[in-house]
Amino acid sequence: MYINFEGNELFCQKCNHTWDVDNLNYKQVCPSCGLISEGLSSMGVIRNNPFITCKCGTRVYLDCKENECTGCQAKYNQDGEYLLSKIIIARPINGISLNGNEYLLGNNGKVLKFDSVQIAKDFLTENNISTDELSNFYFVEASDDE
């Protein structure tokens, strides 16, 4: 939650209270619910300082449903949890890891991509792969453009 501003009018996203200020300060407190917001952004938002430090060391503010690190392009949700780009399903060729991996393809001959590991597992079980057989598969993170 944070406080939005436009001109001299402030709006609290937590309690929907609106109020006017003469001097826009770095730190604002909602007079209705007490939400404290610090740090001005260029998007008309006073941040209540929700951020994490990415694995690359860059500060990532958690303003949106999906937030991208400017340092390494890693993606995080509003709770600061790392978001995987896409998941592809792999398994060793002929069941032998020394042979390398083969990947699950769609009808168009391209690698199928899933939004999460759970969705990928559900796809396999819906297509007659038992839960015991799931241990034979690897769920690999891949970028959207691979």
pTM over 0.75: no
Eight-state DSSP code of residue 85: S
- Asked whether the beta carbons of 32 and 18 are under 8 A apart, the reply is no
String of DSSP letters for 16-81: --EEE-SS--SEEE-TTT--EEE-B-TTSEE-B--EEE-TTS-EEE--SSEEE-TTT--EEETT-P
The pLDDT assigned to 2 comes to: 60
Looking from the CA of 76 toward its CB, the CA atoms found within 13 Å total 22
**Each residue's pLDDT tens digit, 82-109:** 776 788 999 999 988 899 999 999 999 9
**Each residue's pLDDT tens digit, 15-31:** 778 878 776 666 777 78
